[in-house]
């Protein structure tokens, strides 16, 4: 039987997800919205993207522990 290869998570994907989260967090300021509701919505969306990026990073550390050792 063939073993499945461990695929590395591309760090560019994590960086892109974090950048999208930062853009979502800064959107209320860019579009000059004074509503608290929209600020909360954009902050929750940004937190969602940042949590996804963190989960991907932790999964990559668990799959490839030697990659992150000094």
User: What per-residue confidence (pLDDT) applies to 4?
Assistant: 61
pTM, full prediction: 0.63
User: What per-residue confidence (pLDDT) applies to 36?
Assistant: 77
Per-residue model confidence as pLDDT tens digits over 8-66? 777 778 788 888 888 877 777 777 667 777 777 878 888 888 888 888 888 877 887 77
Query: Most distant CA pair in the chain: distance in Å?
Result: 60
Sign of CA dihedral 29, 31, 34, 40: negative
Domain map of the chain by residue range?
Answer: 11-59
């Amino acid at each position: 039987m063939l073993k499945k290869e461990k695929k590395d998570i591309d760090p560019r994907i994590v960086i892109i997800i974090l950048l999208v989260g930062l853009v979502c967090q800064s959107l209320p300021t860019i579009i000059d919205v004074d509503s608290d509701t929209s600020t909360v919505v954009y902050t929750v969306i940004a937190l969602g993207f940042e949590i996804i990026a963190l989960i991907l990073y932790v999964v990559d550390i668990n799959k490839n522990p030697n990659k992150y050792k000094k």
